[in-house]
Each structure stands twice: as structure tokens, then as C-alpha cells.
Structure 1
Amino acid sequence: MLLAIRDKTRGWIAYVIVAVLVVPFALFGLYNYAGNGGEQTVASVDGEDITRTQLDQAYRERQAELRQMLGEQFDPGLFNTEQLRREALQQLIDQQLLFNHARTRKLNVSDEQVASIIRNQDIFQVDGEFSMERYRQLLEQNNLTLDRYEAQMRQDLSLGLLRQAIERSAYTSDRELDRILALQGQRRELSWVTIPTAAYRDGINPQPEALEQWYEQNPNRFQLPEQVRLNYLLLDPAVIAERIDVSTEDIRERYRERQAEASQTAERELRHILIEVPAQASADAVGAAREQAVAARERIQAGESFAAVARAVSDDTGSANDGGNLGAVQPSDVAPAFAEAAWKLEVGAISEPVRTDFGWHVIEVTAARANELAPLEELAASLRESIAQSRAEREVFELGNTLETLAFEYPRDLEPAAEALGLPVQQTDWLAADDTGEGILAETAIQRSAFSDALLESRENSDLIDLGDGRYGVIRVVDHRAASREPLADVKADVREAVIDEQAAKKAQAQAEAMLPAIESGQSLRQAAEAVSVAKINAPRWAERNERELPAGVREMGFRLPRPAPGQNHADLARLPDGWAVVLLSAVEDANPDDIDAERRAQLRQSINAMDGQLAFRAVLAQLREQAQVRIFEERL
């Protein structure tokens, strides 16, 4: 328990670590470390165990990351549970490999450094000071022990130092940078001839045997997907909310709550005086800075104006010249401790010194503006809807247990559950696995379950399916069609068009290929194209690597061809969406690296170094994986 035995921190500059690493304390984040004794091991890394509890927590964190990244588009059904669990396990294995490597390289983090970082996290502070009571309380609330949390913090810091050491080892020489700049800005002189496929369609009349042959050679075309029809029950908070009664008193109570919230988020005009002290400063330095803040407050109480004292002593250069004026501020604009103190003050009052990561503040409230809340009469309808929705969400959770139980007790019938819930059994039309559908049919989780072997074979009710947004459903397959293929007779017209397109494309390609020997023998592109009546010639032009005005196939081939010797050309074919092209490269001009300004060179060097650093880190991790003794207990996952 570092913080139980240390009141001071010293040593290496901990704030540098914090600037590089993100080591947050999330109330739903860290692994549950409240004792691993006797837990089931799911993997071991060079003798270090990874427990089932750690894997479960890492899996939940992975889900949370995806939910945060995708927002409203997050759909649990899109992600395979087994795959996510294996990804989470691999992440834990990688972390252990890297931590072992960091220990080997003696990238250790001292007790003082860990203690300093924890002490300066806002979440553990009360009135700007670290609170051991709050620290213990938050850890206990999340079933974490002090020792294990601090050990995890040390491990995270060590891993960050290791990654930083590896990635910062990347270096790009001036010669390499010049070579890349020359290639990036390279221009090529290109000309090309296009030969459209459509010009060769006329006159192609495929015979029946050609259609049959194409149909047999393309078995994946004209497939009719597997289909099912479903019965289902849907628990939707929006539907449940419609049958919930909300009283007038309920609406008044919610309005009073909104009034209280509005007062808490009201805007205030503030001044402050800052006595700066680094977050990692010693207790003596912190105390001395506080004394300066107290002295500033006493000067104001003795009659000096707040603005005059702020100009004289405040370390906040941005506001000091303006008498400490911060303008209009909302709680979210400032540190939590600062906001808590400022919103307790009356207008004109001066705060006691308040500690934040920046130092000590003395705060004055010069004006307060309450958030205007519309009259109750105007908000009544929306408040009623909000109350009903909240209650519906809680009711859906309870009804979900009933639905799950009855769907299991009556596995081939949804009616008993429907009667108990007061909901109708609904039926879909034919549904394919790749249909987008609407409503419940658009849910990937529903489609995945509907086409599972278990439901198709048993025709029994599914498990309770979490659809997100508080919605749950149970489905049952009532009819099924296996995948099949449309008969040739039904798709003969489409097959005929495909055969004509294919044969026309081959003719266009043959014409393009016939031009290459002529060009290689010394003919110009125009001379070689004279034998192709439908060819369209594009005059030579200088093109850049990322130029979008050229057809993509022409540009890609033009920069793939080898650099020609002076006075020579290189040519090759490029496939286009509507035909073929013969592309001729006649000259290459590299960019002059000396023409690139210093800022651009620095940006590119930084980008290359960052990319090379990431590649180096991945290479180290790959080597560690190869050398380590990793054992995964598949039956315990």
C-alpha cells in the first residue's frame, strides 16, 4: 500500500510519464483483482498465469471499446463472442510478454513514481487534496484491492516506457528522407489508348451451348439464398412505455429535479489567482505555494481589489493582465475541484485556496446566471415521455426474465410468454441471411440466431437475444427453405448478356495486346493504334502519383512500369471498367528534395519515424511471441 505509508513523493519526474501514457482509473475498467486465489487459469505465459476473471474482464472492456468507438451503430450481434474472447486473451498474453520483457530490461517504475501519479489523479482528490479515504472507497466499490491496483498501475507504466523506448529508436537518415521525397513528388509522362468493350458487342450471338457452358462454369451466380420465416416476441421499451401511467405528481417531481440540475450547470463569471506548483512537487513546495495563495486572499480581504492582486501575483499569464478574469465559465470548463469550490460561492465571495493539477487557486464569483428552464406546462409532455421511458426500461429488464423462463418452459410455443407479457406473437415474411430488412429483421443478432443449426434443426424457441438499446427478443423458426440456384431457363437473358460482355471484352483485350509488339518495334502509340478503328488516343501528359483526373487503371500501370532509358518507352495493358487501355511511359522526373521546405521535411520524417517505430514494436512483440512458452487451456475459455 504505497499511499498508506508515504506522504511525500520524490525521485524521477513522474509527470513526464503521465504526459506520455494514459493510465486512467475507470470505474468499469481495470481487471478485478480482489484476490485470485484458487481461480481457474485459462493461459500461462512463461509460467505467469492468466485467470478466467482477467479474461472475462478483458472481454467486457473489449466490448466497451467497440461500443464507444461505434456509438449508435454498435450491434452486439455483429461480433462473434468466441472471436472477441480470443482477441481479449491474446491482448492479455501480449501484455504479459511485454511486461516480462520490460522487467528483463529493468524498465522498472518505483513506488514513489506510482504514488505520485495516483496522488495527482483528480478522481482521488477532495477539495484539491489527495484523499486516502476516497481512494480506498473507490477501490472497494469496484472490488479492487490497493496492492493489486497499484501493481496494475506499475505494470501499465512499465509497458508504456517499453513501447516508448522501442518506438523512439526509429531513425530516418537525410539520404533516406531525400529518396522518399523524390519518389513522393515524382512525375511521369504518360499517354494511352483506350479500347472500349462496347464497340465489340455487335455481331456476337452466343449459341445455346455457350450459354449452358457459362452457366455451369459460374456456379456462384444466380444463387437463391437460404430463407426462413420466424415467429417472434419483442420487448421494446418504446412499446412498453406506451402502456405506463404517469401521474401529475410524478411530472412535477421530475420538473423539480430538472430545476436542480439547471442550477448546477448555470454559467458563472469568475476571476482567479493562480499560484503555480507542479503536480509532482514536494509537500514543502505545495505548502509554500498554499501560503502564497492565503496571503493573496488576505490582501483582498484587507481591501485591495481582486484584480490588482491578480495582476501582481497570479501565475496565470493568460488572465493575470485582465485582473484574473476568466469570463463566463461552466463547470465542465474547469477542473472538478475548481468547479466544486466556485459553484458553492455566493456572488462576490472569495474562496479559500483550492488545489488542482495547476497549483493553488483563489476564486471570486462576479456574476451568476441560472439556466432558463421552460415552464412546467410546456415541458409536461416531454417529461411524461421521459418518465415513461425510464420506467419502461426497468420493466423490460424484469419482463425479460419472464420471457426467458417461459420460452424455455414452452420450447415450441411463444403464446404462453405472449399472454404473460401482454404482447402479440409476430411473424416475418421469408427472410434471407443477407437481407437488410426493417425493424427486428435488420438485427444481425436475430439473423445469426435464425440461421443457426440449433434453431433450424430443433424448431424450438431461441435464448433471450440482446438487441441493444434495452430491447430483447425471442424467435422460433416456423419454416425453412434451403439455398438453391435459379434454373437456366429463368435467367437465360441475363446469362446471354454476361456471355456477350465476356466475349466482347476478350476481343478488346486481343486488340490491345496486338498493339504491344508494334510499340516494342519502335512504332509510336498513334501508329500502333491506327489498326484499331475504335481506339481513342490520349495525348502525352505529365501525371503525378496521386492525380485523380486520370483513369485509376492508367495511373496505376503508369507508375508500375519500370523507368525507361532516355529516348525509350515502356508500355503495358491496363484493365478499365469499360474496356482496356494501352499505357505508354516515355519519361520520369523525380522531385528535387532541396525544393521541399524544412517544415514539410520535419513532418515527413516524424511520420516515417512513427511508422517505423510501430513496425519495430510489432517486430519485438512477434519475436517475444515466438520465443515465449505460451500455453492456452482451450477447454476453459
Structure 2
Amino acid sequence: MLQSIHDQAQSWVAWVIVGLLIIPFALWGINSYFDGGSGAVVAEVNGTEISLNEYQRSLQQQRQRMRQLMGADYRPEMLEDPRMRRAVLDAMIENDLLNQAVDGDGFRIGDELLYWQLQRTEAFRGNDDKFSQDIYKQVLSSQGMSQPFFESRIRSDLMQSQLLTGFRQASFVTESELREAVRLQEQKRSLRLLTIPASVDRIESKDVGDDEIAAQYEINSVAYEIPEQVSLDYISLSVADLAGDVPVEVDALQKLYEQRKESLLADEERHARHILIELAEGADEEATAAAQARLNEVQAKLAAGDSFEALAEHYSDDPGSAAAGGDLDFFPRGMMVPEFDDAVFSMQVGEVSEPVRTPFGFHLIRLDEIQAEEIRTFEDVRGELSAELKRQTAEDLFFEYAETIANLAYEQPDSLDGAAEAAGLVVRQSELFNRQGATNGVATNPGVIKAAFSDMVLVDGKNSDPIELSEDHMVVVRVREHRPATRKPLERVRAEVVDAILAQRARATAKNSGMELLDKIQSGAVGTDAAAESVALQWSGVEQINRSDKTISSEVVARAFQVNLLKGQKAYAGTELRGGGYALIELLAVEDGSFEAMGDKQVEVMRRELADRNVKSHYQSYVASLRNQADIKVYEDQLN
């Protein structure tokens, strides 16, 4: 994979490249770069409107990202929380504020960097995994999107990353800050633990009366409820499915190939390696001298016959290519910054360049191969051309069938059979699901869930209106089966209710016992050994845990590092455990982290972490100042 030196400008602080979270994007995600359309407005940022359409698309993209990140733990209702929905809008507001700020401050993105971003976007690649101008234009055209508008959005996102690069270059960490961070971050603590379990055997009484059972059953009725559920009949129409059934004749492909042959050029590409000695523009004399010294050292080793690949792995500051011996793979002219580009495309195979200065630092470049410009063969582009013809036909069919389905689903509200037959589709069935939706299938979509439980579909028994899952995928649903919410009879869950009551008592007993013992130990009323004997338990020793220790519970680790220890003394603390129970902590010793004991790489990692924290803090302050100075209007009634 191409590891462009541009990657550094983006990857250094990836957490802030708001607009590039979706790139490379799958086709469903491309909608975020398309005009939000007219209609209701959810917010205004210094006069710039955020439409309801844009907001809903952002919600859908956030759902997709959460589903991918959380897997089986994802629940559709998570984004129904008003706080989560507002967080999505706040992110959109901040994005607009940043776009306005970088534009006003004169940030600009050159064509080379824009081209590089488009090159790495998967949606625009052909079967050879390379950028295809034809596919690029086709995708934009299919979405009703102009190339200039789309590219202006990409430039805006990249300008935001430039802003963050500026924050990083202005950030520095003093040695005293670094030493203090090492002292605290690498600190180790030794302690003893007395863990009082939340055990039913420790409670005074296991007797549970009928009144208490009934009260618990009523108070926690939701825990014993089978929620309302429905299953659906539905028909699904998508461009992707239609395209799969579209036949393409070889003659049609050959004809299209001949029409486009002259434009199907594979640009000359060059395969190079490089060693980057990082040096920011405008660096001071000390930093410049240090970089020059490293550069001289590398050149001397090259002259002595050392392997370019080995030197790149050891010396190069490009995190994307260093581990691969500086390999940048093949790339066409215009992908790299001009200075780098000009050097590579003026070299002979096997040649090692003199130092090339770019905004990233000094580069030593070796040219390994040249792939000459040539017309791509029919077989090379056959897959792309076939996909294009299939999609064009499928898109025409999609709009034709979508209209037919919408009309018949409305005219025949008691059945989907007529609409399905007219469009050559089959009526599918979903599994039962509740108002929170399903973990897979059509009922993961919020629009489908909302429609399924709407009065029109659930109460009146009609077909839904067409539901847009994406720009090129729609469904119509109707209720197949409805199961009202029911509560399990008390007789059926009586044992569960009793267990819940006893578990509550056990947790309360453990907590009360632990807090009482902690008070006695801290006051000197009882010693540690006597405290353990009073609850028939023993202390266990834990030596030199660090802040990321996984051998004991995270609650204990967090509490242990909150306690101050005076020299020559011991300290005591306690904490409830997430799974029930209570832990008493006896802090015995604290060993500060040693700056001198850390290796150079560890120190550098720590320095970068601190710098990133500083950047994040400055960035957040900057965004906060933009918000404070901005004229922001939020129309709450449009958010739900």
C-alpha cells in the first residue's frame, strides 16, 4: 500500500480530522459529502444553516460507526438518547465553525494534496485497486453531485487537519514537565487487599417475605417484562441487488472500451524509497543542526555501503514507511509534494538523491522502478466497465421500480404482493424485534423501527411509506406478527425476585462491613490483622502495580493511585467493587518512576503523548473560543 509522506501531516493527530473520519468511505457513507438539500433547519452557525437532512444523515453515519466499533454490544436505542443526538449536532456545529475559521485565516489546500486524498479513497478505485477518474466521475454523477462542490468539501476537511498540524508544531514539552510526567505515570505502588465479597452467606437473614417479594416485583417490573415485539414482511429494492441481475454483453463492453480507449491511460508511476529526517519549516538553529547531523550520519553510512532499507528502518521519521525500509510503493506524478515529486521524476533507476528539502524535513530518495505510461488493456478495465454499465442500468431500473412500489404499496395497503410482483421482488420476513430494534437485518435501521411501531403500520395494519436506507436502497414494510408487552407472572419469576433481593442484601452487607472496618483501622481502634479476623478473611499482598495493571480490579487500581502516602507511614482506603463486594486497601510503598531508567524510545513516546495532550487542550480551547464568539442558533423542536 502506498505510504505517502503526506500521511504524516494527517496521522500525527488523527483524533481531530473531523471531516476525514469517513474517508476512505464505503458507498453508503458518501452521502455526507452531498448537498443536504432544502427543508427544515436544525441550527445556524454564523448564518450558515445546518439542514434537517444533513443532521439525519450524520445521525445515520454515527449509528454505522458505532455499530462497526461496538459489534454485538451496539444497541440502536443508544442514539435515541437526547444527549447523544445533541452531541452529533454539536460536532456538526464545531465542524462548521472550524471550516469558517480556517477559510477566514487563509488556509489553502493545493491540488497535489487533494489528489492524494482522492487516490486513497476506496470508493474511487477500480479493479486494479488504483484511482479511476471514470469511477470518480460516475460516483459523483450518480449522487447528483458536482465535482467542484465535492472537492471543496474535501479541501475544507484537509484545511482542518492543517490547522491541527499548526497546533502540534507550536506545542512543546519542557524537561521538567517530562520528568514530572514520568514520575507519576511510571509510578508503582505496593499494597495489601482485604476483599469482602458480596456473598449471600454473609447476610444476617435469608428470609424473604411475600410482601417484600411483591414490592420488589412491582418496583423492578421492567426486569421481568417481555417487551412488545413485531416481525415484518418487507420488500427491499437496491441498486446493488438490481445490478447483480443485469446481464452485460461483451460487445457492449468492447464498444465502450473503444470509445474510451484513449482516456484509459495508466499514468507513468515510479517506485521509490525514502529516508525522512524530520525538520519543521522555520525550525530553530539547534533543531536544524541536529537534523543536519543525523542526515550526515545517514549519508556517511550509505557511502560506506550500508543497506538503504536498513538505514530507513533505523533512521527514518516517516512512521508509515520506515518499518518497510522506506518503501513508498508506486505512485504517479503529482501525488507527493512538488519538491519530492520533481526529484523522483528526474532520477534514474537505482540512483540515490542528494538531500531533498520539503515542509516535512530532509529526504534521501532511492528510485527502484519505473512503470511507463500505457493504455490499459481491455481485460484490465473489463471489470470497471462492466460494473459501470450494470450500475447505469440498475439505477434506471431502481427509479422506475421505486415509483411503481410506492404507488402499489399505497393503492394496495393490505398486502405487499402486488408491489413485489411488479418489481420482480420477493416478500421477505424479519425476526421478532422490540422497539430497540434488532442486532442484524432490516430492523437495525431506525427508520424501519419507527415505521414498524407507527400507528399506520402497527395499529391500522397498512403498508409503510417507502423507507430510504441509503440513497440507493429502499424498503417497504408491514407488520407480520405483533406480540404485546407482557410481564412474566410472579409465580414464574419468584425465584429470580428472591435472588435479586438477597443479592442486594449481600452487596449492602459487604459495603457496610468494609466501611465500618475502614473507619476502625483509620482511627486506630483495630489493627489490620484483627480487622481481617473479624470477617474471617485474610489480607493479600500485591507488589508494585502500575496504573494500567490488569491483575486486580480497575476500581482498586484507581483508588490506590488516589491515596497520598506520607514517608514512613501507611495509608488506608476503600472502594466498592463493580461486581459487588468491598475492597480495603493498605498502601505500603510508593516508588516514583525514574526518568533516568527509561530508554530513549520510551521517553520519546512520553514526550509525544504529552505534546498530544497539549495539542488537544489547545485545540479544545480554540474551539471553545470559536463557540463563544459565534452566533449559534439551535432549533430544538427539529431535533427529535
TM-score tier, shorter chain, comes to 0.5 to 0.7
Q: Distance in 2 between matches of 1:42 and 1:439?
A: 30
Contact 1:192 1:583 survives alignment (8 Å): yes
Distance 1:493 1:388, change over 3 A: farther
Aligned to 1:193: 194
Whole-Å Cα distance in 2 between the matches of residues 503 and 120 of structure 1?
63
Deviations 1:175-200 (A, max 9, x none): 33222211112122211122333361
Q: 5 Å matches for 1:341-360?
A: 356-358=341-343, 360=345
| Alpha-carbon contact 2:198-2:581 (below 8 Å) kept | yes
CA distance in 1, matches of 2:10, 2:578: 53
The number of aligned residues is 514
In structure 1, the partner of 2:183 is 182
Give the match's secondary structure for 1:541: strand
Q: CA deviation at 1:220?
A: 3.2
Q: Deviations over 1:304-326 (max 9, x none)?
A: xxxxxxxxxxxxx99xxxxxxxx
Residues 532 and 149 from structure 1, CA distance in 2 versus in 1: closer, same or farther, beyond 3 angstroms?
A: closer
Partner of 1:630: 632
Alignment check: 8 A CA contact 2:193 2:584 kept:
yes
**Any idea what SS the aligned residue of 1:178 has?**
helix
Q: Is the 8 A contact 1:97 1:624 kept in 2?
A: no
CA contact (8 A) 1:32 1:143 kept: no
Q: Which residue of 2 aligns with 1:333?
A: 330
Do 2:238 and 2:472's aligned partners in 1 also have CA atoms closer than 8 Å? yes
Q: Which amino acid aligns with 2:93?
A: Q
3-state secondary structure, aligned to 1:594: coil
Contact preservation (8 Å) 1:509, 1:580? yes
Task: Give the match for residue 117 of structure 1.
Answer: 110
Higher-Rg structure is 1
Q: Supply the distance in 2 between the matched residues of 1:584 and 1:19 (Cα, whole angstroms).
A: 43
Q: Counterparts in 2 of 1:148-187, with a 5 A limit?
A: 163-187=164-188
Residue 560 of structure 1: CA displacement? 2.6
In 1, Cα distance between the equivalents of 2:587 and 2:11? 51
- 1:405 is aligned to 2:407: yes
Give the counterpart letter for 2:331 in structure 1: V
Distance change in 2, residues 1:61/1:498 (3 Å) = closer
Counterpart residue number, 2:312: none
Deviation by residue 1:133-171 (Cα, 9 ceiling, x = unmatched): x9xx9999964779x988996x77876665555554444
Cα distance, 1:619 vs. partner? Answer: 1.3
> Which amino acid is the alignment partner of residue 195 of structure 2?
T
1:90-489, aligned counterparts within 5 Å? Answer: 90-91=93-94, 93-95=96-98, 98-99=101-102, 103=104, 107-108=105-106, 117-118=110-111, 143=146, 163-198=164-199, 200=201, 204-235=206-237, 246=247, 333-335=330-332, 356-358=341-343, 360-361=345-346, 395-428=397-430, 430-434=432-436, 436=438, 439-441=441-443, 443-452=445-454, 455-467=457-469, 471-477=473-479, 480-489=482-491
- Residues 229 and 431, structure 1, Cα contact 8 Å, conserved in 2: yes
Aligned match of 1:312: none
Structure 2 residue 605 is matched with structure 1 residue 610:
no
- CA distance in 1 between partners of 2:497 and 2:388 (Å): 57
- Aligned partner of 1:525 among 528, 544, 549: 528
Q: CA deviation at 1:583?
A: 1.8
Root-mean-square deviation (CA, aligned residues, Å) is 6.0
Question: Partners in 2 of 1:92 and 1:573 — Cα distance?
Answer: 41
Residue 367 of structure 1 deviates from its aligned partner by 9.8
Structure 2: distance between partners of 1:418 and 1:64: 29
Task: Kindly state the Cα deviation for residue 88 of structure 1 after the two structures are TM-superposed.
Answer: 7.0
- Shift of residue 553, structure 1, vs aligned partner: 3.3
Indicate which of 495, 498, 511 corresponds to 2:497.
495
- The one-letter code of the counterpart of 2:176 is R
Give the structure 1 partner of residue 48 of structure 2: 50
For 1:143 and 1:245, locate their aligned partners in 2 and report how far apart those are by CA, in whole Å: 27
Distance 1:356 1:632 in 2: 47
2:582, 2:618 → 1: CA distance? 42
Instruction: Give the share of equivalent positions with the same residue, in percent.
Output: 22
Q: Report the 3-state secondary structure (helix = DSSP H, G, I; strand = E; otherwise coil) of the residue aligned with 1:206.
A: coil
Corresponding residue for residue 326 of structure 1: none
TM-score (norm 2): 0.61
Quote how far apart the aligned CAs of 1:538 are: 1.0
> Residues 53-105 of structure 1, C-alpha deviation per residue, up to 9 Å, x if partnerless?
9x967987997798799889999989789879845751454136524xx85xx
Residues 559/71 of structure 1: CA separation in 2 closer, same or farther (3 Å cut)? closer
Given the superposition, is the C-alpha separation of residues 41 and 452 from structure 1 closer, same or farther in structure 2, using an over 3 Å criterion? closer
Match for 1:492: what amino acid?
R
Amino acid at match of 2:186: G
Alpha-carbon offset, residue 249 of structure 1: 5.8
**Residues in 2 aligned to 1:192 and 1:435: alpha-carbon distance in whole angstroms:** 44
CA displacement at 1:32 relative to structure 2: 7.2
CA contact (8 A) 1:465 1:474 kept: yes
How far does residue 567 in structure 1 lie from its aligned partner after superposition? 2.9
CA contact (8 A) 2:247 2:390 kept: yes
Residue type matched to 2:48 in 1?
A: I
Give the drift of 1:592. 2.8
Structure 1: give runs of 5+ residues left out of the alignment.
1-13, 125-133, 273-316, 319-329, 339-354, 376-382
Q: Name the stretch that deviates more: 424-433 or 621-630.
A: 424-433
- 1:588 equivalent among 587, 590, 612: 590
Query: What is the TM-score of this pair, normalised by structure 1?
Result: 0.61
Indicate if the aligned counterparts of 2:448 and 2:467 stay in contact, CA closer than 8 A.
yes
Q: 1:635 to 1:145 in 2, by over 3 A?
A: farther
Does 245-254 or 492-501 show the bigger shift?
245-254
Distance in 2 of aligned mates of 1:581 and 1:356: 62
Structure 1 residue 225 displacement after superposition: 1.2
Query: 2:189 is matched by which residue type in structure 1?
Result: R
Matched-pair contact (CA < 8 Å) for 2:430–2:441:
no
CA deviations 1:192-239 (Å, max 9, x no partner) are 122333361686231212212222332432122122243322336787
Distance between the aligned counterparts of 1:122 and 1:214, measured in 2? 64
Whether the 8 Å contact between 2:200 and 2:502 is mirrored in structure 1 is no
Indicate the SS of the match to 1:561. Answer: coil
User: In structure 1, the residue corresponding to 2:534 is in which secondary structure?
Assistant: coil
- Say if 1:401 and 1:82 are closer, same or farther in 2 by CA, change over 3 A: farther
SS at match of 1:221: helix
Residue pair 1:564, 1:570 contacting (<8 A) in 2 also: no
Residue 251 to residue 497, structure 1, CA distance change in 2 (3 Å)? farther
Gaps of 5+ in 2: 1-5, 25-29, 118-133, 274-307, 310-326, 350-368, 380-384
Is 2:235–2:420's contact at 8 Å kept on the other side of the alignment?
Answer: yes
Q: Which amino acid aligns with 1:595?
A: A
Which shifted more, 84-93 or 167-176? 84-93
Q: Give the aligned partner of residue 550 of structure 1.
A: 552
Q: Quick one: which amino acid aligns to residue 564 of structure 2?
A: P
SS at match of 1:587: strand
